[in-house]
Amino acid sequence: METIIKKAEILIEALPYIQKLFGKTVVIKYGGNAMINENLKNSVIEDITLLKYIGMNPVVVHGGGPDITDALNKFNIESKFVEGLRVTDKKTMETAQMVLIGKTNKEIVSLLNQKGGKAIGLSGIDGKLIECEKHKTSVNGEKIDLGYVGKVTKINSKLIEFIAQDEYIPVVAPIGVGKNGESYNINADTVASEIAAALKAEKLMLLTDVEGVKTSDGKIIPALTINEAYSLIEENVINGGMIPKVLGCIEALEKGVNRTHIIDGRIPHCLLLEIFTNKGIGTMIMKEKVLYHKNEKL
């Protein structure tokens, strides 16, 4: 009986969040181990399906780096990276587009449909959903040509809104389109952030292979304001690969997203644990620490 009562208590804890988020948009960047490990993949897909059934509007943006690398290896095409971005010549771009749109995207759509969701696969090419230009970068003052790597210039969100606000779950592959119709590969974190901003989403959830933002002594920081995040970057507490994720969250917040989250996709049912529990499991970044309800722990 005690076990059953505890289950009821968990549902009651989730109630204020369900009420607050009913009808709201939640953009989920799906990547890392959660896309590779079958058990984790299953739990994330279940979480997303549940979000839709209890009245939220989840929008999924997925990565697919390992799938692209596997395909390039099969075609004997060498993978090169500069500052974490894949150098993308024409053959690499064709392979990335084939994999992301034709394989990875459709697998996620199929899994969501198997769980009872109604998912629709999209890419930035569809309806010019993601307009972009060539991404320019330099290393030590030297300009580097990354090839067909894109920088988002515009999100045409009407198509996603139409699908998400109906009974469907949009699943977006991070391929954008240039002004001359050329395809570009874009970082999935960036696409998720830009889509969340365009939709004025309630939440942006970044699934990663880290536990969240940590203090200098290794403790997870459950919540940060923008100013606190900048301070931690200056103090080198936030460093390395975490910096672009945090800056992406801040940019989304400044463009109208209410809450952003960096969570560990290696934890089963990570989305439910972060969204529907008072403490959460990762790091939430927000403009100001405003509670959803009095029992929420920030």
Residues annotated in the binding site for substrate, as ranges?
A: 64-65, 86, 185
Specify whether the CB–CB gap between 31 and 265 falls below 8 A. yes
Chain-centroid distance, C-alpha 236: 24
3 state SS of 166: coil
φ and ψ at 147, to 5 degrees? 80, -135
Cα–Cα nearest to 279, from 26, 56, 14: 14
Residues making up the annotated binding site are 64-65, 86, 185
Which residue blocks in the chain are alpha helix, DSSP H? 2-21, 38-53, 65-74, 90-99, 105-114, 158-164, 188-199, 226-234, 242-254, 270-276
3 state SS of 35: helix
